[in-house]
Amino acid sequence: MKEKLVLIGNGMAGMRTIEELLAIAPDKYDITVFGAEPHGNYNRIMLSPVLAGEKTIAEIMINDLDWYAKNNVRLHAGKEVVEIHRTRREVRTADGTVEHYDRLLLATGSNPFILPVPGNQLPGVIGFRDIKDVETMLAAAQPGRHAVVIGGGLLGLEAANGLMKHGMQCTVVHLGDVLMERQLDPVAAGLLRASLEERGMRFLLGAQTAAILGEDKVRGVRFKDGLEVPADLVVMAVGIRPNTDLAKQAGIHTERGIVVNDTMQTYDPRVYAVGECVQHRGICYGLVAPLWEQAKVCANHLAQFGIGRYQGSVTSTKLKVTGIDLFSAGNFNGSADCEEIVLRDPARGVYKKLVVRDNRIQGAVMYGDTVDGAWYFQLLREGTDISDFRETVLFGHAHMADAGREGSSVMSMSDDAEICGCNGVCKGTIVKAITEKKLFTLDDVRAHTKASASCGSCTGLVEQILAATVGTIGKTPAEKPMCKCTEHSHDVVRTAIRERHLTSLRAVFDTLDWKTPDGCHSCRPALNYYLIATWPGEAQDDQRSRFINERVHANIQKDGTYSVVPRMWGGLTTPDELRAIADVADKYQIPTVKVTGGQRIDLLGVKKDDLPRVWADLNAAGMVSGHAYGKSLRTVKTCVGSDWCRFGTQDSTGLGVKLEKMTWGSWTPHKFKMAVSGCPRNCAEATIKDFGVICVDSGYELHVGGNGGIKIRGTDLLCKLATEEEVKEFCGAFMQLYREEARYLERTAPWIERVGLSYVKSKIVEDEEGRKALYARFLASQQFAQIDPWAERASGGVDAHEFEPLAAIN
């Protein structure tokens, strides 16, 4: 027989708990819900659009009456519980209805605070809390009549806006000097006030209400300084108080709210509580996101899973006040030990302020442009050090992505980053719904996740996630499963290879329960790289898990022929090498010979059958593969440096040759390019390479993380060194750190954006012992580098399987 769960309060927090409970333990309880209002569960946040005529009551319903019937939830709508008898475990309503419970959930919400002034009971004086209040305001709203709204917070401004849309003249009265002081700093509040005054809203700030005037109904408001203003309607929106009356009557411990522990239990272990009526660790919450977190924890414990704790919430507020976007989080007013980073653009109506201490965001406030609010909130909550991108942080994600910082898009945010505060929907939930249910429109996302279905202030972020996810359906985001063959991510697989000492594809497939016996064209190349990079010399390099270009050491072209690029160390060559290249071009009738951007010579149009012989002839002349096709070192571009150039400060060509000979032949997560420029004029373009060296009079500047591709990204300065030997050590250590920690097919640019330049510096520059260990591992791995790819095959020909591509790896 099922246990009986009774919920008192048919609002958002209580019903969210029921929804969560039904999702994880649908058969655990016989559920009964008591609601004082004669409606289903509706979105209280959306009462303002109903007042403004933008939505109907039906459109803000979260759970209509049919939902309760379909989910076998008994609803007593319009029945107010007046007594809880904990000994008999019963609740009783005003009409005498009695219900027994095994578990009781209190979600009694809060009550609007009505100022204790003369006249506060007059007809025409109301709060703004439920559907009945909205209906009263709509009935009273007539063109030309006067309304006074007491309270300059969110609810007060929204009430005034809604009444103005019905033709009323509205005056907003606020005790403080700053509107919405809990959400905005004085600058943002001033911008908001100016905008609302342009629309006809009137304000009395610093005004203290003394009395409501009238006999049979309200006719005006008098203030402490003697000023009187006419009023046909007075709306009090001065705050809320937790509704603890029932709990107190039942002897449940209360202070400001109903006191609960981290599992949302009251002092009576059979009684739980969630929502605005609750006090947790001394704090009462009035925002939706904390209530959703409470609901999830409470449902988990009602289901008797025994896991999950509510430890309080770091809150942010993202609002749309009369069409104006606002965002705030944390300590946005700052303190003596904080700094402020401010952007203000009056022409666009944009204001952003970040409060920073020790290069970590402590608070944020935004007006007019809030699209990056979720990102700032994530940086605040995670305590991210912003020193690496402090100069651009105010310009947001879009600016950083445009600058080539691919890790800075909305998709780089963690899955638990909250996107929709109204409904407590995180990024991961949205991405999962889009991917699994194949959603392609904003309306689809709203229907399945409720994100953007309420106030609409998160619509821009949801649209960004939709566009990015739809564009990657079928691909392999780095933080998601590697492919359809496994549930494991790249990071999880790589950790398993290292910690379980896996040295073959078969060991990975067996140990990690691969769904497909032999993997696929997506996971095999990645796994092969992770194996040989983790266990060089021990793991077998599986040639059949390589793309065709890597297996035949040439780039396939659109006509089916191949491009062969022999290596020229640092861009240097000799007459003998040039003769060998010319002879090969003549002998095999290669139609195009081209100088590449990496200072080498490309032989284009080589027939597939000729590839072994072409390489045999080039090997005989001492030339090896330039790996122009590989996920490996491609080139080391150099200028002539101090040997010839009148501006050269060091031997850049010689250093480039040493770096190339040290690093070539080893595989990396993606292509890796280097350059050495002989002076700050940077002719070798070192500042758009994965690893770049700029020679200066005193030594060498090292630059990392550049990208000259579709999205150009300039390098970050790693450090300055004095000797060539140091440059070689730092280069090898950096390359090894990238090889060991980046994900397959992740360039150094997004890798550094993901882990942070400070992290790379901590490993390479600040930790000398760790750097030397990385360098030693790099040099050790080079013993097994692919030094002479065709030497063993030149004499006896090439096995046919070398040219038989694994399905789709062609």
Interhelix angle 288-302/12-24, nearest 10 degrees: 40
Would the annotation count 639 as a binding residue?
A: yes
E strands, 651-729, are: 672-677, 691-696, 699-704, 716-721
Q: If you ran DSSP here, which 8-state letter would residue 545 be given? A: G
The candidate with the shortest Cα–Cα distance to 742, out of 407, 346, 315, 304, is: 407
The candidate with the shortest Cα–Cα distance to 419, out of 406, 428, 408, is: 428
Radius of gyration over alpha carbons of the chain, in Å? 34
- Contact status, residue 10 vs residue 79, Cβ threshold 8 Å: no
Separation of alpha carbons 454 and 527, rounded Å: 44
55 has which bridge partners?
A: none
Residue 681: what are its φ and ψ, rounded to 5°?
-65, -20
Q: What angle do CA 260, 261, 267 make, to 5 degrees?
A: 60
Residue type, 48: S
Residues 6+ apart with CB under 8 A from 401: 408, 409, 711
Would the annotation count 683 as a binding residue?
A: yes
What one-character-per-residue DSSP string does 252-302 give? --BSSSEEE-TTSB-SSTTEEE-STTEEETTB---SHHHHHHHHHHHHHHH
Separation of alpha carbons 110 and 243, rounded Å: 5
Residue type, 282: G
The candidate with the shortest Cα–Cα distance to 272, out of 292, 252, 242, 287, is: 252
- The alpha helices in 315-410, defined as continuous H runs, are 373-382, 396-402
Separation of alpha carbons 532 and 786, rounded Å: 12
500 has which bridge partners?
A: none
The candidate with the shortest Cα–Cα distance to 695, out of 672, 715, 724, is: 724
Would the annotation count 645 as a binding residue?
A: yes
- Which three-class secondary structure state does DSSP give residue 725? helix
Q: Residue with structure tokens 């209280």?
A: 44
- The alpha helices in 424-489, defined as continuous H runs, are 427-437, 442-449, 459-470
Q: How many CB atoms lie within 10 A of CB 320?
A: 19
The two structure tokens encoding residue 270: 């059979």
E strands, 117-232, are: 125-126, 146-150, 169-174, 202-205, 209-214, 218-223, 228-230
What one-character-per-residue DSSP string does 474-492 give? TS--TTSBSSTT-S-BHHH
- Half-sphere exposure for 82 (CA within 13 Å, toward CB): 7
**Sign of the torsion formed by the C-alpha atoms of 563, 568, 570 and 576:** negative
The candidate with the shortest Cα–Cα distance to 734, out of 663, 665, 802, is: 663
- Contact status, residue 363 vs residue 184, Cβ threshold 8 Å: no
What are the distances in angstroms from CA 474 to CA 449, 529, 747, 753? 21, 22, 20, 24
The candidate with the shortest Cα–Cα distance to 328, out of 360, 295, 292, 287, is: 287
Which residues fall in the annotated binding site for [4Fe-4S] cluster? 639, 645, 679, 683
Which residues fall in the annotated binding site? 639, 645, 679, 683
Which residues fall in the annotated binding site for siroheme? 683
